[in-house]
Amino acid sequence: MLMDDAVVKYKLRDESPIVEQRRRGLYKKRQTRRVKRKLSIEAIHQAATNAHMVWGFTGWTYIWTVAFTGARPPGEMFGLQRGYCSPHWPTSEPDPELREESLQRYEVLHAMRVQYQTYAESRRQVLAAPKYDSWRTLVIPPFLHDMRGELLASHDKPWAFLTVLGKPMLGSDFERDYWYPIRDGAPERDSGVRYKRWARPAMPAVEELAGEDIYRLRHWHKAKLDEPGDIPRVAVEGRMGHELPGVEGTYSEVTVAIEERIVVYLQRVWEKEVVGAGLWTPSFPTPLLDDLVKAAPPLFSGLPVLEYE
C-alpha cells in the first residue's frame, strides 16, 4: 500500500515494484491417476474363459494366477519357472539357507517364489531381479496349486507359462495376440480343415476391463485382500512387492498364521464366488504320457542372470 501511495499520491516513483497477484480462479487438483472402475469376479471369470479359448488351459491358469497372487505381469509372470512353483518349490530352491527355512515355514502351505523376471537385454533373453528387488514368497490357495500342478504336468518345459506354440512367452506380442482378444472379445474364427486347431468360437468383450491393461487384475488382488479387514497391511503390501515405510514397516512382521489366513480367505473366495456361483470351469489338460517323457522336465531355464553393479 505504501508503494502504491508513492506512485499515485506523492508522485515519488513511476511504478510500484510490488507485483500484483491476481486471483486465478478456483483451484482444481490435477487428475494424475486413472479412476478405477468396478471390477467383479464375474468379469475376471469371463476374461479367464476368453483366455481359455485363445490360449487353452495355460491362459485360464495365467489369468487366475495374476488375480490371486498379484504377481506382476508381464515380467514376473513370463519369468516364472517350474522350479519356483509348487509342487516343486521349496524343495527345489537352489539357495540352501532359504530352502531350509522355507521347508519348515511352508510345511503345510503351498507357495510360489518370485525370484526373477525375464526380458530382452541387448537382443538376448536374460533373468533379472523383480521390480524394486522385490523377491518374495507368495502363499497360494489349494485350487491354484492344483491348477498349476496340472498345467506343469501337461508340458516338459522349464517355464510355467508357454505360448500357444509351446515357446517361452518372452518375445511374443502379448497384448496383440493374447490380452486384446481376451479383453475385447473377438468374432468366430473358422480356419478350415487344414488349420482346425486355430478355430475358435466368438468371444464376448469384458466390459468392465474395457481399455484396461492386464495390470488391473493385480490391483483387483490388493483390493480383494483389503476387503475382509483382518489381513494386516504389511502382509498385503509385502504380497504386492512393496515395503511399508516408517515405524510400521520396521516393526511389523508377516507370520505363518497371517499367511494361513490369506490362504483360507482366497480359497473361500474361489469356492463361494466362482464354484459356488455355478461359473464354468474347464477340465484339466491331459498330462504327458510317461513313455513320451525321457527325463524329468528341467526346473530352471538356464538363462544368464543380469547382475546390477
Q: Which residue has the cell 512387492?
A: 241
Q: What CA–CA distance (Å, rounded) separates 118 from 25?
A: 49
pLDDT digits (tens, 9 = 90+) for 229-260: 999 999 999 999 999 999 988 899 999 999 99
Fold of 41-292: hpI Integrase; Chain A (1.10.443)
pLDDT digits (tens, 9 = 90+) for 182-203: 999 999 988 766 666 678 889 9
**C-alpha cell recorded at residue 122:** 541387448
For the chain, give every domain's residue range.
41-292
Nearest C-alpha neighbor of 107 from the set 93, 90, 84, 122: 90
Whether residue 245 is preceded by a cis peptide bond, meaning omega within 30 degrees of 0, is no
Question: Which residues lie closer than 8 Å to 220 by C-beta, 6 or more apart?
Answer: 39, 44, 67
Share of the chain above pLDDT 90, in %: 75
- Per DSSP, what are the bridge partners of residue 128? 117
The pLDDT-based confidence of 130 (bands split at 50, 70, 90) is very high
Q: Range with the lowest mean pLDDT among 15-29, 76-90, 99-113, 285-299?
A: 15-29
- In the chain, the N- to C-terminal Cα span, in Å, equals 60
Q: What CA–CA distance (Å, rounded) separates 98 from 92?
A: 11
pLDDT digits (tens, 9 = 90+) for 78-89: 999 999 999 999
CA 179 remoteness from chain centre: 13
Q: What CA–CA distance (Å, rounded) separates 228 from 224?
A: 8
Question: Which residues lie closer than 8 Å to 7 by C-beta, 6 or more apart?
Answer: 13, 14, 15, 16
pLDDT value for 123: 85
| pLDDT surpassing 90 at residue 61 | yes
The pLDDT-based confidence of 26 (bands split at 50, 70, 90) is low
pLDDT digits (tens, 9 = 90+) for 77-127: 999 999 999 999 999 999 999 999 999 999 999 999 999 999 888 889 999
- Segment (H or E) for 112: strand 110-114
Q: Is-contact 65 71, C-beta < 8 A?
A: yes
pLDDT value for 289: 74
Q: Which residue has the cell 490380452?
A: 179
Q: Give the chain's mean pLDDT.
A: 90
Q: What CA–CA distance (Å, rounded) separates 241 from 134?
A: 5
Q: What CA–CA distance (Å, rounded) separates 216 from 209?
A: 8
Q: Is-contact 226 219, C-beta < 8 A?
A: no
pLDDT value for 172: 95
| pLDDT surpassing 80 at residue 30 | no
